[in-house]
Structure 1
Amino acid sequence: MEQISKTFDGNALVSTGTLAIIAVTCAVYLFYTSYVIPLKLFSKSGIKGPPPTLIVGNLSEFRKGLHDSLVNNRRKYGKVFGTFLGTQPTLWVGDVDILKIIMVKEFHQFPDRVALTKTLPYPIKHSVLFARGEDWKRIRSILTATFSASKLKQIFYIVESACNRCVEKLEALSENEEIADMKVIYGNLTMEVIVASAFGVQLENDPRASKLINYANKIFNSVPTIQLIVALIPSFQPFFRFFFRERQESTTYIANTVKGIIRERRESLKNGTRCNRDLLQLMIEASEDGKMSDDEIVGQAYIFLIAGYETTANTLTYATYLLANHPEVQDKLYKEIDKTYQDKGVIDYESVSELQYLDMVLSETLRIYPPAHAVNRGVSKDVTINGVKLLKSVPVGIPIYGIHHDPDYWPNPEQFRPERFTPEEKQARNPSCYMPFGMGPRNCIGMRLALIEAKLALAKVVKAVEFSAIDKTEIPLKLKAGVTLSPANPVYVGIKKRL
């Protein structure tokens, strides 16, 4: 019996050891196939790029600043290179001839944007930003009409009122010899335009306005590092739920507010009450024809807030910063604006579009500081373009900031020179190397509104006050590349009221 017991114990020991070896082998195999083999994708294809680290890929490099990272990688590896976010590869293409094929000529093969996460939250999943196929075509068609020149004229008064209040604020600051963060000043302006035009809420007399602004800021102030961790390892999301609590509360409030306004508008229409002709109303009218669902209206209003608030505010901040540091450009711009005021007595929808030097200043600002510093496109099938093989499983990254700072397209790219956008220089340059609003059928739907808003604001502000660099002006300007390309720190300039 003792001998049998010893034999049984030995067999059990052998069995346990064997199982342990099998388990370890399986674990090593799964780790190797899941985290090691995917990182060999580009090296096997002969595509260069920064060496990835196990599990996180090139995350540490991106955290230093995706915009700078893409510029540096272009210098090291050429116009086409590969990176990894975790094990998710992206093929970055900075060759504008290839990009024109991807984004315009062969758009049907690259029609969709690719999200970091597999499951998009409500209501952004209903927005034109991530809509796909026929849903995207339908929504895009409705919004294209909504953002037409004739429709934008109907909401021009909203933009003008916000710009006038911004001028009053700057004049008051100059009289009291105060300084202010220009991001905050312009953020108030663009938020006023967005909540009025996209949500139908007036900043001055609607209590919902301040709450919308408060909740929107909470969305922008969410923790980017944690967002990246959850994107890398979705199963970790429950452990970081606390950090997303405010963001979720904000999203819920914004969505519910839009739903409430939709109900109010429909009730008003039943009672024969006239509603504001804003973007929200135009979408509601489209829904009455069965062309857009309420969830889709909420999705568009939400994305208008996210895309239209910070991007335009940052653009105005950058333009002011550049003008403060280049007084000769500011003086030339002021003379053009002042002459238009003298000739017409006012800057209106038509005249603001005729200010050629203003357009050049704004275009150069958007080249140096493109709000959407990088975008992507999904690949519908394996295809080779100009010798570059694109795989269905690998999104194409479009390094807009990198292209805008590529010396092959822009000599002395760090120099602020609005004359790059004279008709002659534009004619001599490949137009595809300038894409602050993207390019092709999937470009920024709100481009017209953003440009009108930025031009009118600059025209009114430069006519009223003069900007200058001061001791607290950060030179050079430090940037952070999050959802948009933003100043990393407050942007202070001197403000002097013009006589």
Structure 2
Amino acid sequence: MPDTRIPGPPGLPLIGSMLDLRRDALKAYRDAFGAHGDVVRFSAGPPGLRATFWMVYSPEGAQQVLATESANFRKENAFYEEIRQSFGNGLLTSQDQDYQRQRRLIQPLFTRRRVDTYADAIGIEAEALAERWAGVPGGVVEAGEEMSAFALRAVSRILFGTDVDEAIRTVRESFPVLGEFVRTRGFSPVRLPRDWPLPLHKRALAAEQALYAVCDQIIARRAGAESEDLLGLLAHARDEDGNQLDATELREQVLIFLLAGHETTATSLTFALHLLGLHPEQRRLAQAEVDAVLGDGRRPTAEDYNALPYVTKVLKEAMRLFPAAPAMGRRSVEETVIGGVTIPAGSDVLVAPYITHRHPAHWEDPERFDPERFTPEREAARHRYAWFPFGGGPRACIGQHFSMLESVLGLAVLLREFEVEAVDTEVELGQGITLEARTPVRIRVAGRR
């Protein structure tokens, strides 16, 4: 018989681990792993409203949830429902026939060959950012804000083409409001109806309406027009039966691409710059590679991606230490056993890249920044799910190559143009829709050319 005794933090008598999780969820996850091992049960909230969920920390458990038993673990928890309510039922949140249909329509737009055509748009935005940094008084920039703006401009240019500025203004104003709304409701034991006229609800509704309006306007303007930007390709995509996305579905896909396509890449770039700013030896190695490939000052192309393996390793190591999705939730359909522990049917189960990427059984000296962990030989020798910033299994991120291409080419341009030094050596982290830097991530940049 499997062991059904599931260890976990006792928390406080009336509210369990609610305060610990609200204060610092990432620390709560780490402390529970250190004290209780690879499968941990959390209880949080007052009696009658208490939520129970299971954290799974081992690569083997992550593989079971995301891949080998993925049909038993669905995106039906409160957090995904809040994303679905605010951003629509796009590829990130849809399930079953909706998901299969959307995936069939959208997959051809994210092949490696198609994604490589977006390299020029990435290069244009990276060059514009470098030009602006060259004129920053004192040379100190806040990496989180700067990388968020860069990634948003790049994905918006790829999505909307010439309509990029119109979309960006609305997205930059609306996304933080909706992100906080989703985070607050997703982690709350009590979720009041969205139509109650509370201040937070009113702000979220206004942000939602503004986002919907700008997307709908751009989509309507494109109706019937041929375009090679991603929105145009989405609008004309057909499945094998000749079906296509309607206007509402188009908007939902656009919003999910904007959400997933800029916040995750921005996180990776922010912490890659932060880490290189703390480690001059690794920065010099990355810059030497960039100078050998792009030293003539030209705009990078997709062909340069494979010529920048060390820069790629830097980004993978940044994504190990600072994964944009620190935890990924599912809900079990049937009872199952993970790591010798029985998980009941209908349970909320989270896998946690933020912890698994530091698992001492799979990573030597796990807190140390070491891009050489990602040589092909060492990657091949490691468990497939010891590193999974893009998820895995049939729901693995469709935009993985796009994110890596954008990150590598964008970072390469910045390293070619600037020396980078970390101003803030310690950064406080938090968990929202994605990993959050809750204190500044300032870096000092100085021109190299």
Q: Which residue of 2 aligns with 1:332?
A: 285
Q: Which residue of 2 aligns with 1:475?
A: 425
Q: Which residue of 2 aligns with 1:365?
A: 318
Q: Which residue of 2 aligns with 1:490?
A: 440
Unaligned runs of 5+ in 1: 1-43
Once residues 476 and 184 of structure 1 are traced to their aligned partners in structure 2, the CA distance between those partners, rounded to angstroms, is: 17
Matched, 1:66 2:25: yes
**Alignment CA distance shift 1:424-1:417 (3 Å):** same
**Alignment CA distance shift 1:388-1:45 (3 Å):** closer
Q: Which residue of 2 aligns with 1:233?
A: 190
Is the deviation greater in 377-386 or in 48-57?
48-57
1:54: how far off? Answer: 6.3
Q: Which residue of 2 aligns with 1:101?
A: 64
Q: Which residue of 2 aligns with 1:251?
A: 208
- Contact kept? 1:383, 1:389, Cα under 8 Å: yes
1:156: how far off? Answer: 2.4
1:125: how far off? Answer: 4.0
- Contact kept? 1:315, 1:369, Cα under 8 Å: yes
Instruction: Calculate the TM-score normalised by the size of structure 1.
Output: 0.82
1:401: how far off? Answer: 0.3
Q: Quick one: which of 79, 84, 104 aligns to 2:43?
A: 84
Once residues 327 and 103 of structure 2 are traced to their aligned partners in structure 1, the CA distance between those partners, rounded to angstroms, is: 21
Unaligned runs of 5+ in 2: none
Listed as ranges, the matches of 1:116-155 within 5 Å are 116=79, 122=85, 124-155=87-118
Once residues 127 and 182 of structure 1 are traced to their aligned partners in structure 2, the CA distance between those partners, rounded to angstroms, is: 29
* SS of residue paired to 1:352: helix
1:353: how far off? Answer: 2.8
Once residues 245 and 356 of structure 2 are traced to their aligned partners in structure 1, the CA distance between those partners, rounded to angstroms, is: 36
Amino acid at match of 1:210: R
1:430: how far off? Answer: 1.4
1:331: how far off? Answer: 0.3
Listed as ranges, the matches of 1:163-312 within 5 Å are 163-173=126-136, 176-200=137-161, 202-203=163-164, 206-222=165-181, 224=183, 226-227=184-185, 231-235=188-192, 241-267=198-224, 269=225, 274-275=226-227, 277-286=228-237, 289-312=242-265
Q: For each residue in 1:429-482, what CA deviation from the matched residue of structure 2 results, as whole angstroms up to 9, or x when unmatched?
A: 21211011111111222222111111111100000111113xxx2222211211
- Contact kept? 2:91, 2:99, Cα under 8 Å: yes
Q: Quick one: which of 316, 330, 334 aligns to 1:381?
A: 334
1:249: how far off? Answer: 1.1
**Alignment CA distance shift 1:201-1:378 (3 Å):** farther
Once residues 197 and 11 of structure 2 are traced to their aligned partners in structure 1, the CA distance between those partners, rounded to angstroms, is: 25
Q: For each residue in 1:303-323, what CA deviation from the matched residue of structure 2 results, as whole angstroms up to 9, or x when unmatched?
A: 122222222112111111111
1:386: how far off? Answer: 4.9
Q: Tell me how many residue pairs correspond in the alignment.
A: 441
1:363: how far off? Answer: 0.5
TM-align CA RMSD:
2.5
- Contact kept? 2:324, 2:389, Cα under 8 Å: yes
Once residues 251 and 237 of structure 1 are traced to their aligned partners in structure 2, the CA distance between those partners, rounded to angstroms, is: 12
**Alignment CA distance shift 1:209-1:96 (3 Å):** closer
Amino acid at match of 2:436: S
1:334: how far off? Answer: 0.5
1:350: how far off? Answer: 1.4
Once residues 343 and 253 of structure 1 are traced to their aligned partners in structure 2, the CA distance between those partners, rounded to angstroms, is: 43
The structure with more helix, counted as a fraction of residues: 1
Q: Which residue of 2 aligns with 1:41?
A: none
**Alignment CA distance shift 1:121-1:435 (3 Å):** closer
Once residues 63 and 304 of structure 2 are traced to their aligned partners in structure 1, the CA distance between those partners, rounded to angstroms, is: 32
**Alignment CA distance shift 1:432-1:491 (3 Å):** same
1:496: how far off? Answer: 0.9
Q: Which residue of 2 aligns with 1:413?
A: 366
Once residues 82 and 379 of structure 2 are traced to their aligned partners in structure 1, the CA distance between those partners, rounded to angstroms, is: 41
Instruction: Calculate the TM-score normalised by the size of structure 2.
Output: 0.91
**Alignment CA distance shift 1:386-1:468 (3 Å):** closer
1:118: how far off? Answer: 5.9
Q: For each residue in 1:388-441, what CA deviation from the matched residue of structure 2 results, as whole angstroms up to 9, or x when unmatched?
A: 322221022101101111212111111101111112222322121101111111
Ranked by relative contact order (alpha carbons within 8 Å, sequence separation 6 or more), the top structure is 2
* SS of residue paired to 1:198: helix
1:124: how far off? Answer: 3.0
Is the deviation greater in 326-335 or in 213-222?
213-222
